[in-house]
Structure 1
Amino acid sequence: MQTYSLLFYAKKAKNNPELSTIYMRITVAGRRTEISTGQTVKTPQWSIKLGKVSGNSPNGKQLNSLLESFRAKLFECYNSLYNEGKEITCENLRNKYLEIEERKITLIEHNSKVKGLIDREFSKGTWKRYETSLRHTQAFLKWKFNISDIDVRHINAGFVADYEFYLRTVRNCSNNSAVKYIRNFQKIINICLNNEWIS
């Protein structure tokens, strides 16, 4: 399991330095994100060293208990992502905690974006090449998985190898044609990588 860390810290309010908002800082593989807990504390009562409210006041104990429940919930989210076989990143963990549904980026979706950029970033000739590649990709998805589209996060080296095998055997493409279609496919994957849709 990939390790992560959680730190609670307090940030002084701009309009009232005597009051601080408590945040959660989530770190996974060197990357971090922050979430406001929605809780405030008097600035002098916050212990930077301990990452919680200092002292034994009833309000302080109650707030510390609430923070620990946040910690437990985050750990549950981590375990849920792990058990679902999903990549664990600080962004995914944050979204899971906040119950933000991930927007899926699909493979076939990219081609419709290319079509919308004709005469701006792509020529009509480029679109026609992509359209031909699209038909091959859709046919491959139907042949291999019996689906019409696929989440880009499910694409890996094995997927590409199977696609190339399909082009050369089932579609009986020549070497030059197969290479051309794989190169078009690679451009789509590079866009996904650049946008961090896949790792």
Structure 2
Amino acid sequence: MNDYKLAILFLLKKVKTNKKGLCPIRCRITYSKTRKEFSTGLLIKPEAWDSKQQVAKPPNKENNILNAHLSLISQKINEAFLMLQISQENFDVDDIYRKYKGEDVKTEIAILGAYDLHNEKTKKLIGVDFNKLSWSRYVESRRKVAEFIKVYYKKNDVKLSNLDLKF
């Protein structure tokens, strides 16, 4: 589990000011010294933005709605961050963004998973590029690697990122 802090910053993209004098608000997520910036889809007049307090001022109906949207975005990002912390797996700023957007967080493949994927593809190619004997050797190789992992690592499977030269 990572003990890094999550930082959420809203900033204006003043170079993209439109004809009405409104500029887009961008959101920057910083986690473990990496950043992910994306558009919020919200527009504001640059003079109404207080960058230190991260809110639109003065309080009026339009600015209150904008501040509520920004607060909701921040809340959803924090919720995604907490859910990833609970999962007990390593994650990065892109995973936080994917979780915020409602997409699946990338799953890391393990050795036996890679073997299974390869063996399924090879089985479909029996008679075309491979013969049945070659496929059975791949299956046997997978079995031996699984046995090795159980004995040496005392686990059912090992993620590819956890492999070292000793393997």
| TM-score (structure 2 length as normaliser) | 0.66
Which residue in the other structure is 1:51 paired with?
A: 54
1:156 to 132, 145, 162: 162
Aligned counterparts of 1:138 and 1:39: Cα–Cα separation in 2: 54
Q: Is the 8 A contact 1:104 1:151 kept in 2?
A: no
Which residue in the other structure is 2:104 paired with?
A: 101
Aligned counterparts of 1:91 and 1:26: Cα–Cα separation in 2: 9
Q: Aligned pair 1:140/2:142, yes or no? A: no
Name the count of aligned residue pairs.
142
Q: Where does the alignment leave 5 or more consecutive residues of structure 1 unmatched?
A: 113-131, 165-181, 183-199
Which residue in the other structure is 1:76 paired with?
A: 79
Q: Is the 8 A contact 1:54 1:60 kept in 2?
A: yes
Q: Is the 8 A contact 1:13 1:21 kept in 2?
A: no
Q: Is the 8 A contact 1:27 1:90 kept in 2?
A: yes
Q: CA RMSD in A?
A: 3.6
Determine helix, strand or coil for the equivalent of 1:80: helix
Which residue in the other structure is 1:29 paired with?
A: 32
Which residue in the other structure is 2:132 paired with?
A: none
Q: Where does the alignment leave 5 or more consecutive residues of structure 2 unmatched?
A: 119-136
Aligned counterparts of 1:59 and 1:151: Cα–Cα separation in 2: 53
Q: Is the 8 A contact 2:95 2:106 kept in 1?
A: no
**Which structure has more RCO (C-alpha within 8 Å, separation ≥ 6)?**
2
Sort the Cα spacing of 1:74 and 1:15 in 2 relative to 1 into closer, same or farther, 3 A. Answer: closer
Aligned counterparts of 1:46 and 1:81: Cα–Cα separation in 2: 31
Which residue in the other structure is 1:191 paired with?
A: none
Shift in Å, 1:49: 2.4
Structure 1 residues 54-63 or 11-20, which shifts more?
A: 11-20
String of CA shifts for 1:38-73, please: whole Å, max 9, x gaps.
111122211222222121111101111121111111
Sort the Cα spacing of 1:2 and 1:134 in 2 relative to 1 into closer, same or farther, 3 A. Answer: farther
Which residue in the other structure is 1:14 paired with?
A: 16
- Write the mapping of 1:168-179 to structure 2, written as runs, cut at 5 A: none
Q: Is the 8 A contact 2:22 2:46 kept in 1?
A: yes
